[in-house]
Structures are given as C-alpha cells and as structure tokens.
Amino acid sequence: MNKAKIVSEDLNLYYGDFHALHGIDMTIRDREVTALIGPSGCGKSTFLRCLNRMNDIIPICRVDGTLMFEDTDIYAPTTDVVALRKRVGMVFQAPNPFPKSIFDNVAYAPKLHGLKDKTKLEEIVEKSLKQAALWDEVKDRLHKPALGLSGGQQQRLCIARALAIQPEVLLMDEPTSALDPISTLKIEELIRELKAQYTIVIVTHNMQQAARISDKTAFFLVGDLVEFDHTEVIFTTPKDQRTEDYITGRFG
C-alpha cells in the first residue's frame, strides 16, 4: 500500500450556516488516482478545494477538523498558502490559459517563484509539455498565443503549467467536461501516466471516467462521504445501497 499523502479527519466545512461537508474521514495515498464522484451539490468539489485551500477566497467559508498533507496541517494559521499551492497544483474544468504565448504560460509560475535562468526555464517548459503529452504538437510554435490551441490542447497546456512548478499533488476539477471525446481520452491517458510521479485527485461527473482511470473512488452525497474504496469495489460490489443506487442510475 502506498504511503498516506493527504489525511482528512472529521473535516467539516460551512458556508455561513450551511454545513457543506460532514466530518469527512479519508486517506489519499501517494501516486494513486483518487476520484471524487457524486451528484451536483454533494460536496466533492468543495472537498477538492479544501486540499489546496482554494475555499479561502470565499469569505463566509469556515473549516474545522484536521486535514494533513504529510506533516503539514493544511488549515493551520501558520501554513504558507503559496507554498502549499506550489506542492498541490490544480487544473480546472474549463481550460484557462493566460493570454500569453505557450512558452510563457508554462514558464509563468517558475518565473514568479524567482527562476530567471533562461536555459533552466526552457528545460522546464520542454519537460512539462512532454509530461503533458503536448510537446510534439507545439514544439514548433512555442511563442505563438496559447489561445490559438484547441480546447483539448489548452487543457493539456494547463496541466503542463501546473506541472512546471513540480507539485506533488495534482487536483483536477472535472478536467475533461469541456472537451471532446478524443481529447478526453488523451487527458485520461495522461492521468494514468502522471500517476507514476504524482498523487492525483480528480472530481468527475463521468462515472465511466472514474472507473477507467482511478485507483480509489469516493462517493459523496449531500455533504457525506458515503463510501470510499478501491474503484473496482465501488463499481462492482459497493457496500452502501446509496452508492449502488447512484452508480446504477437508481435514486431512492
């Protein structure tokens, strides 16, 4: 069994009076793909956004319980959020490249973190684009605008951008929901490859996608973590009737 990377214990989250996550206990393991599934409003994206404190930007949001990223208490007041987000990268639902060149998109964060050496930057850009399986398609036009890429390419660019600062964990919030089926399969293939080096947590509305790419699956329902197990178990012999009902399209 891979070592624990992120451990959530009795994690509660409130948006004002609304109790959005109810005492979530979950262990996310190193170099595994963990999929979060459940109907809209179940708390899966909220949970994902806790992992690099993206919920901080919502003023009425309050969190209690513990969320440990290895030895770092994610929600401790002393935790440096910028340093945390350097280790826990994120890819969003719709591809959102900066209105800059392909090169500058990937080089942006390393530069921001103080890297000035041009050769080093070039190395990072190439390595990141290769890891994101985009290099061959863009190597001859690195200085062209990123917005000229197709949707699927833009999303892989966003993945390359996230990889450029060499995070340990990659959070993905429905990364293929805006993409065509072939681009989706490319991203899925990429996720399987990235797993060798990164811990990946993905929110997806596509259950077949969760089944195809993840090692573990967590099923959320109205703020509860109903069931968390090996993906194979969740999709073949789930233990909770609510999980069974959800994945087979029956709602009680």
**Dihedral Cα 231, 235, 236, 237, nearest 10 deg:** 80
Residue 211 Cβ, how far from another protein at the closest point, in Å? 8
SS3 41: coil
Cβ neighbours of 124 (radius 10 Å): 22
CB 44 within 8 A of CB 217: no
Closer to another protein at the Cβ: 32 or 227? Answer: 227
Residue 177 Cβ, how far from another protein at the closest point, in Å? 17
Structure tokens, 192: 């399987």
Residue 245 Cβ, how far from another protein at the closest point, in Å? 9
Nearest-Å Rg of the Cα atoms of the chain is: 18
Q: Which residue has the tokens 């451990």?
A: 7
Burial (CB count within 10 angstroms: exposed 0-12, middle 13-18, buried 19+), residue 234: buried
Closer to another protein at the Cβ: 16 or 39? Answer: 39
Closer to another protein at the Cβ: 59 or 249? Answer: 249
Interface residue list for another protein (CB under 8 A): 207-208, 211, 235-238, 243-244, 247-252
Q: Would you give the distance in Å from CA 47 to the centre of its chain?
A: 11
Closer to another protein at the Cβ: 114 or 249? Answer: 249
Closer to another protein at the Cβ: 44 or 161? Answer: 44
Alpha helices in 88-206 (DSSP H): 102-112, 118-131, 135-138, 151-163, 181-194
Residue 25 Cβ, how far from another protein at the closest point, in Å? 23
Residue 209 Cβ, how far from another protein at the closest point, in Å? 11
Closer to another protein at the Cβ: 163 or 207? Answer: 207
Q: Is the dihedral of CA 141, 112, 199, 24 positive or negative?
A: negative
Give dist(CA 72, CA 136) in Å, integer. 37
Residue 188 Cβ, how far from another protein at the closest point, in Å? 15
